[in-house]
Structure 1
Amino acid sequence: AYENQDYPFDELVDKLDLERDISRNALFDTMFDLQALDDAEPDIAGLHVEPVDLEFQISKFDLSLAAAESAGVITFHLEFCTRLFKKETAETLAQHFVNILREISDHPQKTLNEISMLSEEQRNTVLYQFNDTRAEHPTGIFSELFEQQAEKSPNHPAAVFKDHMLTYRELNEKANQLARTLRKKGVQRESVVGIMAERSLEMVTGILAVLKAGGAYMPIDPGLPKERIQYLIMDSGADLLLTQHHLIGSISFVGEIIQIDQADAYDTDGSNLEHLNTPGDLAYVIYTSGTTGNPKGVMVEHRNIIHAHYTWRKHYELASFSVNLLQLASMSFDVFAGDLCRSLLNGGTMYIVPDDVKLEMNLLYDMINKYGIHMLESTPSLIIPLMKYIDHHKLDLSSMKLLIMGSDTCTIKDYKWLVERFGQRMRIINSYGVTEASVDSGYYEEALDQIPEIANTPIGKPLDNTAFYILDPSLNPQPVGVYGELYIGGEGIARGYLNKPELTKERFVPNRFAAGGSMYKTGDLARWLPDGNVEFLGRIDHQVKIRGFR
Structure 2
Amino acid sequence: MKTSRRSLLSGFLRSLQRDPKRTALRIGDEVLTYAQLWQRAAQLGAAVQECADPSASVAAVLANRSVTEYAGVLGILATGRGYVPLNPKFPIERTLAMLQASGCSTVIAGQECIETVMALLPLLERPVTWLLDGDEFRSLLEDSHKSHFLVPVTDLPTHLDPGEPSLSDNATAYLLFTSGSTGTPKGVPVSQSSVCSYLDYVGKRYQFKAEDRFSQNFDLTFDLSVHDLFACWDAGATLCCFPEQTLVPVTTIEEYELTVWFSVPSVGMFASKLGLLKPGAFPTLRLSLFCGEALSCTLADNWQRAAPSSVLENIYGPTETTIAITHYRWDAKRSLDECINGIVPIGWIFENQQCCVVDENLRPVATGQTGELCLAGSQVTSGYLNNPERTASQFVPIPAMGDQTWYRTGDLVRQDERGCLYYLSRTDHQVKVNGYRVELQEIDLVLREAAGVELAVAIPWPVSDGSASGIVAVLCGTNSSVDARVFELCQKRLPRYMVPTAVYHFEQLPLNSNGKLDRRQITEQLRRMGAGRSS
Is the structural similarity TM-score above 0.5?
Answer: yes
State the match for 1:505 in structure 2.
392
Kindly tell me: are residues 190 and 302 of structure 1, through their superposed partners in 2, closer, same or farther at Cα, counting changes over 3 Å?
farther
| Counterpart Cα distance in 2 of 1:343 and 1:274 | 18
Q: Which runs of 5+ in 2 are unaligned?
A: 136-152, 439-535
Q: What SS class does the counterpart of residue 177 from structure 1 fall into?
A: helix
Which of 195, 198, 217 is the matching residue for 1:305? 195
Kindly tell me: are residues 265 and 427 of structure 1, through their superposed partners in 2, closer, same or farther at Cα, counting changes over 3 Å?
farther
The amino acid that maps onto 1:183 is: Q
The amino acid that maps onto 2:354 is: A
Kindly report the root-mean-square deviation, in angstroms, between the aligned alpha carbons of the 2 structures. 2.2
Residue 181 of structure 1 contacts residue 265 of structure 1 at CA under 8 Å; is this kept in 2? no
The Cα of 1:186 is off from its aligned counterpart by 3.0
Which of 127, 132, 150 is the matching residue for 1:259? 132
Cα distance per residue 1:153-209 (max 9 Å; x no partner) = 100010111221211111122212211111111354652212111111110000111
Note the 1:428-507 alignment, pairs <5 A.
428-451=312-335, 452-455=338-341, 456-507=343-394
State the match for 1:232 in structure 2.
98
Residue 471 of structure 1 contacts residue 487 of structure 1 at CA under 8 Å; is this kept in 2? yes
Kindly tell me: are residues 150 and 497 of structure 1, through their superposed partners in 2, closer, same or farther at Cα, counting changes over 3 Å?
same
The amino acid that maps onto 1:288 is: T
Residue 190 of structure 1 contacts residue 215 of structure 1 at CA under 8 Å; is this kept in 2? yes
Cα distance per residue 1:445-489 (max 9 Å; x no partner) = 131222215212111100121111110011111122211111111
Which of 428, 432, 437 is the matching residue for 1:545? 432
Kindly tell me: are residues 169 and 540 of structure 1, through their superposed partners in 2, closer, same or farther at Cα, counting changes over 3 Å?
same
Q: What SS class does the counterpart of residue 9 from structure 2 fall into?
A: helix
| Counterpart Cα distance in 2 of 1:460 and 1:189 | 42
| Counterpart Cα distance in 2 of 1:178 and 1:391 | 40
- Alignment of 1:525 with 2:412, yes or no, is yes
Note the 1:133-532 alignment, pairs <5 A.
140-188=6-54, 191-245=57-111, 246=114, 247-252=116-121, 253=124, 254-261=127-134, 263-264=153-154, 266-273=156-163, 275-278=165-168, 280-319=170-209, 322-357=211-246, 359-360=247-248, 364-365=250-251, 367-386=252-271, 389=274, 396-419=281-304, 421-422=305-306, 424-451=308-335, 452-455=338-341, 456-510=343-397, 512=399, 517-532=404-419
The Cα of 1:295 is off from its aligned counterpart by 0.8
Q: What SS class does the counterpart of residue 184 from structure 1 fall into?
A: helix
Q: What SS class does the counterpart of residue 372 from structure 2 fall into?
A: strand
| Counterpart Cα distance in 2 of 1:335 and 1:236 | 20
Kindly tell me: are residues 210 and 311 of structure 1, through their superposed partners in 2, closer, same or farther at Cα, counting changes over 3 Å?
same
| Counterpart Cα distance in 1 of 2:33 and 2:404 | 40
| Counterpart Cα distance in 2 of 1:444 and 1:239 | 41
The Cα of 1:274 is off from its aligned counterpart by 6.0
| Counterpart Cα distance in 1 of 2:278 and 2:328 | 28
Q: What SS class does the counterpart of residue 32 from structure 2 fall into?
A: strand
Residue 413 of structure 2 contacts residue 425 of structure 2 at CA under 8 Å; is this kept in 1? yes
The amino acid that maps onto 1:296 is: K
Q: What SS class does the counterpart of residue 93 from structure 2 fall into?
A: helix
Kindly tell me: are residues 423 and 157 of structure 1, through their superposed partners in 2, closer, same or farther at Cα, counting changes over 3 Å?
closer
| Counterpart Cα distance in 2 of 1:285 and 1:429 | 27
The amino acid that maps onto 1:250 is: A
Give the TM-score normalised by structure 2: 0.72
The Cα of 1:429 is off from its aligned counterpart by 1.0
| Counterpart Cα distance in 2 of 1:261 and 1:284 | 24
